[in-house]
Structure 1
C-alpha cells in the first residue's frame, strides 16, 4: 500500500529528454574519473576492460528496458525485484541503488570541486549539491532542459580533446598493446571500475513514472544512450592512452587535461577542466534525480520513512525525498574519498543490476539476463577488496533492516 498523501508523478519526458538524462548521467561519471584507476589496475588492458564493462552494461540495459516497459513506475529495479522475485529482493536492490548512487553523487560533487577550486573542493562540492537539489525540487522537466545544455557542452569539449591528442600529441599505436604482465584479475577489476561509467542508463528506468508512453520510450532511449556513450568512451580512451601511455595515465589526477598539455596545448587546460566540472555537474544532476525517485518508491512501500513519499502539489516532484538525498550527499561530499566512493558505488550498483537480470529472467528472456547476471557478479567481486567489504557490509545492513521491519509487521499483525 502506498503511503498516505502519495500521488503519481506527471508524465513530461519524451524520448529525447530520456536519452539526454541518460547521457548526462553516464558521460560525466566515466571519462573524467574512472580511466586513471582502470589504467592502474590493467594498464592498456583497460580497453579490454571497457569492452567487458560495455557487454555487461548492454545486458543490464536490455533487461532494464524490458522490465521498465512492463512496470513503468518510479523505482527501477526496486520495483522489478519486488514484482518478479519477491519483496526482499526488491528491498535489497533499492537499498543497494540508494547507497551506491548516493556514493556516486558524492564522487561527482567532489569532481566538480577538484576542478573548480582544488583547495576548497569540499566546500564547492557541498554548494553544488545544495544548488542541484533546488533545481530538482522545481521539477524534472527543468532538470532535463539543464542536462541537455550540459551534455552538448561536454561532448564539444571531448571532441576537442580527441582532435588535439590525435592530431598534435604524437600518438603511438604501440601504447595500445596489451602489456606482458597484464592479468585476468587486473582486466576484470578495470572492467568493474569502468562499469561505474556506464551505469547512468538506470536514470531512464527510475524515471519510468514520468516518461510519456513508457512502453515505447524506455526501450528506445536506454540502448541509444548507452550506444552513444560507449562510442564516446572508446574514442576518448584510445586517444588519451595513445598519447600518454598506461603508466602516465594511471598516475594522472586529471588524464584529459594532461593529454592536451602533452600535446602542446596548455592553453586548453582550463577549457578541459571546465568540461570535466560541467560533466560531473550533469552526472550529479541526473544521479540525484534517480536516487530520489527510488527513495520515493521505497517510501511508498514503507521500506523507508513514509513521509519521503510526498509529491509536491505545484512542482510535481518528490520534494521530501529530494531534500533528504541532498542532505546525505552533502554530508558524504564533505567527508569521503573520491576513488573509494567509485569502488563502493560500483559494487553496490552491480548487485543492483544482478537483481535486475534475475528479474528479467522470469519474463522468459534467458540468454541476455544470464550473461548480465554472471557478468555483474564476476565484476562486483573482482573489485578491490575494500570496495567489496564496504559494499557487502552496507547490503548486510539493508538485509537486517528488512528483517527487523518484517518481524515488526508480523508482530503487529499477531496482536
Structure 2
C-alpha cells in the first residue's frame, strides 16, 4: 500500500504542535459554531427534541472521532480523510472525501465569517466578515504556532462567556425545567436537528488535517481528538439545557441570537453586549481553525495534482502551505459576500457528513467494526435528512467533484 505523499523535503511541514495546542485548535473550531449558530434552526426543526438531536449528533461525532483518530495515527499526514480514503479505499474515494471537505468547509468558513459580522457590527456585517477572512488568512500565513496561540486565548474567552450564560440562565427565577419536555417534535425533526448540530462537532477534523504538524502523532492525535470532543460535548449540553429552560423551544427557534436572548430573558440585559462579543470571538476562533484545515487538505490534494500543483508549495521561512492558504482565503472571501448564513450551515453539514462517511468506511478496513459501522450509517442518515435544498445543492457539487476526478483519471491513462 502506498505511503503518504508527504515526507522530507521542501514540501514537508514542520512538527511543532503538542497535545495542548492540538486540543485548543480542535476546541477553537467546534466551540462557537453550534452554540451561536445552530441551536435556533435545530430547535425549529425538532422543538424540545433538540436535546435528543444533540445526543444523536454526539454519538455520531464520537464514532467519527475514533475512526479519525485511528486513521490519523496510521497516516500522520496533512489531508485527513482525503489521505485515509485514498490509502484504504482507493484514489476515487480519497478524492471524493477531499472534495467534500473543501466545499463543505468553505461554506463553514463563510458561515463563521458572517456570524462575526452579524454580532460585531450588524449594519456592515458583510464588510466585517470579509475583513475577518483577510485578517485570519494573514495570521495563518505567518505560521501555525501563532495561530495556535491566538486560538488558545479565544477559547478561554468564549468558555468564560458561555459559563456566564449558563449561570445566569439557570440561576434566574424564570428558568423552568418543564420547558425541556414541552412542545411537539417528530423523528424526522430530531434527525434534521442532529444533522444541523453536527455542524458544531466537526472540529476534530482539524486535528486530523494537522497531522503532519503534530509531534508524536500516534499518541497525540487520539488523545487530542477525544479531549477536545469531550470538553465540547459538556459545554454544548450545559448551554443547550440552560437556554432551552429559559426560553422554551418556540422562543429559541425564533431567536436570531439565542444566547443573548436567554440572558435578556433572565433579566440581565446589560450583559447582552458581553454575550455578543463572546459570539463574535467564538466565531473568529472557529474561522481560524477552519481556514487551517481547508488549506491543509488543499495542500494534500495539490501534492497529488488533483488541484493545481503550485498550491503544494510550503513557505521556506514560515513552514506553512502559503499558496493554499492564500487561495482558500480568496475563495472564502468571495463566498462570504454571496451566501446566506443558514443555507451555508446546511450545505456544510452535507459535505462534512459525506466526508466522515468515507472516514468510517476507511476505518472498517483497519479491522475495526462497531464504531465505524455506527458512524457510517449515522453520517449517511443525517446527511440525507437535512433540509432538501441542502441535500440537492450538496449532492450536485459533490457530483461535480466526482466527474472531475473521472475526467482527470481518464486523461492520465492516455
Which one of the candidate residues 22, 27, 32 is aligned to 1:23?
Answer: 27
Distance 1:162 1:2 in 2: 44
| CA deviation profile, 1:277-324 (whole Å, cap 9, x unmatched) | 000000000000000000000000000000000000000000000000
> 2:393 maps to what in 1?
390
Tell me if structure 2 keeps the 8 A contact 1:6–1:300.
no
SS in structure 1 at match of 2:413: helix
Tell me if structure 2 keeps the 8 A contact 1:169–1:243.
no
> 1:175 maps to what in 2?
179
Is structure 2 residue 202 aligned with structure 1 residue 194? Answer: no
Tell me if structure 1 keeps the 8 A contact 2:6–2:77.
no
| CA deviation profile, 1:246-296 (whole Å, cap 9, x unmatched) | 000000000000001011111101000000000000000000000000000
Distance 1:131 1:303 in 2: 28
What does 1:227-242 correspond to in 2, within 5 Å?
227-242=230-245
> 2:129 maps to what in 1?
125
SS in structure 2 at match of 1:65: helix
Tell me if structure 2 keeps the 8 A contact 1:169–1:262.
no
> 2:170 maps to what in 1?
166
| CA deviation profile, 1:137-188 (whole Å, cap 9, x unmatched) | 0011110000000000000000000111111251111100053x31100000
Tell me if structure 1 keeps the 8 A contact 2:6–2:12.
no
> 2:254 maps to what in 1?
251
Tell me if structure 2 keeps the 8 A contact 1:41–1:190.
yes
Is structure 2 residue 409 aligned with structure 1 residue 406? Answer: yes
Runs of 4+ deviating beyond 3 Å: none
> 1:309 maps to what in 2?
312
What does 1:53-92 correspond to in 2, within 5 Å?
53-92=57-96
> 1:359 maps to what in 2?
362
| CA deviation profile, 1:318-338 (whole Å, cap 9, x unmatched) | 000000000000001111000
Tell me if structure 1 keeps the 8 A contact 2:46–2:186.
yes
Distance 1:237 1:169 in 2: 18
SS in structure 2 at match of 1:364: coil
| CA deviation profile, 1:104-124 (whole Å, cap 9, x unmatched) | 000000000000111110000
> 1:96 maps to what in 2?
100
Is structure 2 residue 157 aligned with structure 1 residue 185? Answer: no
**If the length of structure 2 is used for normalisation, what is the TM-score?**
0.98
Is structure 2 residue 211 aligned with structure 1 residue 208? Answer: yes
Which one of the candidate residues 34, 53, 70 is aligned to 1:49?
Answer: 53
Distance 1:185 1:109 in 2: 30
Is structure 2 residue 307 aligned with structure 1 residue 293? Answer: no
Tell me if structure 1 keeps the 8 A contact 2:49–2:185.
yes
> 1:378 maps to what in 2?
381
Tell me if structure 2 keeps the 8 A contact 1:46–1:187.
yes
| CA deviation profile, 1:321-362 (whole Å, cap 9, x unmatched) | 000000000001111000000000000000000000000000
Is structure 2 residue 55 aligned with structure 1 residue 37? Answer: no
Q: CA deviation at 1:410?
A: 1.1
> 2:16 maps to what in 1?
12
**If the length of structure 1 is used for normalisation, what is the TM-score?**
0.97
Q: CA RMSD in A?
A: 1.2
Tell me if structure 2 keeps the 8 A contact 1:308–1:321.
yes
Structure 2 unaligned spans of 5+? none
SS in structure 1 at match of 2:36: coil
Q: CA deviation at 1:2?
A: 7.1
Distance 1:7 1:199 in 2: 27
Tell me if structure 2 keeps the 8 A contact 1:45–1:178.
no
> 2:116 maps to what in 1?
112
| CA deviation profile, 1:66-90 (whole Å, cap 9, x unmatched) | 0000000000000000000000000
Distance 2:112 2:286 in 1: 7
Distance 2:409 2:71 in 1: 26
